[in-house]
Structure 1
Amino acid sequence: MEFEEKPLESRTVFHGHLIDVEVQQVRTPTGIVAQREIVHHAPAIAILALTADNKMILEKQWRAPIAKTTLEIPAGKLDRRDAADSVHAAKRELNEETRYQAQELKKLSSFYTSVGCMDEYMTLYLATGLTPVENALPQDADEQLALMTVSLDQALAMIKRGEIEDAKTIMAIYYWRGMQNNG
């Protein structure tokens, strides 16, 4: 069975600081002409940062697309400072957002965040052996973050109660639960 759609025309309808939006006209394998709206986003990283007392760092912040405050793991996009190096981005974001550095930074997984409309590709890291940074990098001027730490049981309960709704954070918590179950 053929799945690939053939683009007939494409135009960028929005170019922004964070995203670009492209509208495509495509022909499906069955011959139907359809429209696709695609959000282009820079690659990104996310970090499951575990403290010495086995708690994860969460960030509370406002998210305009859903008009509410969320609880999330530290994350951010790769930018010109990272030279397309996701490890560099993870170290930088950990410093900027939490003021910690990791003795060990281990890649856990890479994934697309929302394949129905976006090409954002995210890499999830596990950060352990956290120590305060000596040279704090400047935080993004437009970000307001409040940090908290929670145990695995607390994080799982927060998911169940709907207090944590962010997909990357839920994925990281379930990975952490798997780590605990497998020793």
Structure 2
Amino acid sequence: MEYKEETIKSNCIYKGNITEYWVDDVLLPNGKKSKRELVKHAGAVAIMPFTDDGKMIFVKQFRKAIEKSIFEIPAGMIDKTDGTPIETGRRELEEETGFQARIFELETAFYTSPGFSNEFLYIYRAEELIKIENPLPKDEDEFLEIVVLSYDEAWEYYNENLIVDAKTVFALFYWKMKIELEQKNK
């Protein structure tokens, strides 16, 4: 049996630069009514940039929602200037780190929090990095520090609760799996 909710009424209560907030009245599969509070988002891209010496580039950034600075893989919103998620990823990598990549491959994509948001996140692996002399500028409201970490250092940051967001935790487990597969195939 498929459980589906029918939208009876949909009301946008706020439209911001990044998200829209909606309250929907829905008819449940059992015939009862309920409300759903939803966040609509254009989608985003995150990048796992691996250096030639086997490290990964992270950015340290203050996040107002949690009132602290954390270490994350580079990421950003898909905007109207980007034709595809890969274009967003390439742009964000250059803006946030000053690098481009010869290898830029999609590893996975998923909804970040489908219980209340439609944000869809693409995660790319970037390798064979090239430092750009005059990279694209960062967003005006973006203040970040570039940090290059070894595998062990990244896991220390995770254990110290400095890496706490889902996309970056995914990147750590991806990195672990990649290393384990390389060791297994030796």
Partner SS for 2:65: helix
In structure 1, list runs of 5 or more residues that go unmatched: none
Using the size of structure 2 for normalisation, the TM-score is 0.95
Written as runs of structure 1 = structure 2, the 5 A alignment for 1:74-85 is 74-83=74-83, 85=84
Letter in 1 for 2:131: P
Tell me the equivalent position of 1:21. 21
Q: Check if 1:138 corresponds to 2:137.
A: yes
Written as runs of structure 1 = structure 2, the 5 A alignment for 1:99-178 is 99-178=98-177
Using the size of structure 1 for normalisation, the TM-score is 0.96
Aligned-residue sequence identity (percent) comes to: 38
Written as runs of structure 1 = structure 2, the 5 A alignment for 1:21-60 is 21-60=21-60
Q: In the aligned structure 2, how far is the partner of 1:182 from the partner of 1:2? A: 38
Partner SS for 1:65: coil
Q: In the aligned structure 2, how far is the partner of 1:147 from the partner of 1:138? A: 14
Tell me the equivalent position of 1:96. 95
Letter in 1 for 2:21: V
Deviation at 1:43, TM superposition (A): 1.4
TM-superposition CA deviations, 1:79-129 (whole Å, max 9, x none): 11112x011111100110000000100100000111111100010000000
In structure 2, list runs of 5 or more residues that go unmatched: none
Aligned pair count reads 182
Q: Check if 1:9 corresponds to 2:9.
A: yes
Deviation at 1:161, TM superposition (A): 2.4
Letter in 2 for 1:117: F
Letter in 1 for 2:76: G
Deviation at 1:30, TM superposition (A): 1.2
Partner SS for 1:25: strand
Deviation at 1:136, TM superposition (A): 1.2
